[in-house]
A and B are shown apart, each in its own frame.
Chain A
């Protein structure tokens, strides 16, 4: 069964790199006391905000928010 977290990682990898994508999710899990594989649809909003906060040092805030909005649209099927 495809996991949402794999789809999220696959979405983020071309944008920020594979290593940073995984570390971002792990840091999110540590912050909200979650298991990596338990990331679900309800986490995408907070994960998007978390991504935006970290991405805005590299690109302007509006662009970071746009990418975080796209992240919220991820579905488990997108992991392929």
Chain B
């Protein structure tokens, strides 16, 4: 996804959401369709990055998992979009396509934690107390998540016990990912202005937007305030746009290294 694609999405969403140009019934279906396309393009870029590594390279597996994660997310949102267009209304989470989205999240966790373990051994990073700061940040996020997301989800008596359980798994997965991203952010932040860090900083920014959108959705849904024109829909779209943009930047970085031959 090139940068102008991200900017075009922001401009389009700003107009559509400000003036409510779509019928409420089709906002989510359209947004999920756009997200599906963006995720599949991110999967394609991640796949191309994976193919640039040889099978002997340790970090090849990380990119492979990121590609799979984007593929699962894209397929999940595609199923959501088709279902929503078919019934002409938005489908409330949790629903069967969420299984694909869970699988995608697990792939992201494996890929990113594997990359982080390699990065932590790198001599490019200075010795610092970044791990303590990242862990402190995770504790703060966990407290906020329990108070604003998990407790309202558990005390919502209008939903079944299964829906409550599933609504509690999402914030836990989000917190695990947030922890990994907090460590990655501080690692790349201490690297300073490096061309190697650029794609990762964009990927981290995408997760910040995703985390905000996901948790806002869970809070609004649990408190009965959710509607399709609320922040989560454009938030998810922007997050996936930035993921695809980061994947393309990593591909460009690898190309620029190859062109030096």
Footprint of B on A, CB under 8 Å? 14-20, 23-24, 27-28, 50, 54, 56-63, 66-67
> Residues on B close to A: CB < 8 A?
52-54, 56-59, 115, 118-119, 122-126, 190-197, 253-254, 257-258, 260-261
**With a CB–CB cut-off of 8 A, which chain B residues contact A63?**
254, 257-258, 261
Given contacts A56-B57, A60-B54, A62-B54, contact A27 B123 (CB under 8 A): yes
Contact between B257 and A19 (Cβ–Cβ < 8 Å)?
Answer: no
Q: Are the CB atoms of A50 and B261 closer together than 8 Å?
A: no
* Most-contacted residue by chain B among A14, A16, A50 (CB, 10 A): A16
What residues of A have a CB within 8 angstroms of the CB of B118 in the complex? 57
Assess whether B261 is in contact with A60, with CB atoms less than 8 Å apart. Answer: no
Q: Give the chain B neighbours of A14 by CB distance below 8 A.
A: 195
| Given A15-B195, A23-B126, A60 contacting B58 (CB threshold 8 A) | no
Q: Which residue of A lies closest to B125 (CB)?
A: A23
A-B contact count (CB 8 A): 72
For the complex, what is the distance from the CA of A57 to the CA of B194, rounded to whole Å? 14
Residues of A within 8 A of B124 (CB): 16-17, 20, 23-24, 54
Contact A17 B57 (CB under 8 A): no
Measured CB to CB, the nearest residue on chain B to A53 is B123
- The distance from the CB of A12 to the nearest CB of chain B, in whole angstroms, is 10
Given contacts A28-B123, A54-B124, contact A59 B191 (CB under 8 A): no
Given the known interface contacts A57-B59, A57-B115, A67-B257, the answer about A16 and B195 at a Cβ–Cβ threshold of 8 Å is yes
How far, in whole Å, are A36 and B195 apart by their CA atoms in the complex? Answer: 24
**Inter-chain contacts of A23 with B (CB < 8 A):** 123-126
Partner of A60 from B52, B119, B193 at Cβ < 8 Å:
B52
Among all A-B residue pairs, the 4 with the closest Cβ atoms: A17-B194, A19-B192, A27-B123, A20-B124
**A-B pairs with beta carbons under 8 Å apart, 30 shown:** A16-B194, A16-B196, A17-B192, A17-B195, A19-B126, A19-B190, A19-B191, A19-B193, A20-B125, A20-B192, A20-B194, A20-B196, A23-B124, A23-B126, A54-B124, A56-B58, A56-B59, A57-B118, A57-B119, A58-B196, A59-B253, A59-B254, A60-B53, A60-B54, A61-B57, A62-B54, A63-B257, A63-B258, A63-B261, A66-B260
Chain A residues whose C-beta falls within 8 Å of the C-beta of B119 in the assembled complex: 57
A22 to B126 alpha-carbon distance, docked (Å):
10
Cα A18 to Cα B192 with chains together (Å):
8
A60 to chain B, nearest CB (A): 5
Extra contacts, 7 of them, besides A17-B124, A17-B196, A54-B123 (Cβ < 8 A), are A19-B126, A19-B190, A20-B124, A23-B125, A50-B123, A57-B115, A61-B56
B257/A17 in contact, CB under 8 A: no
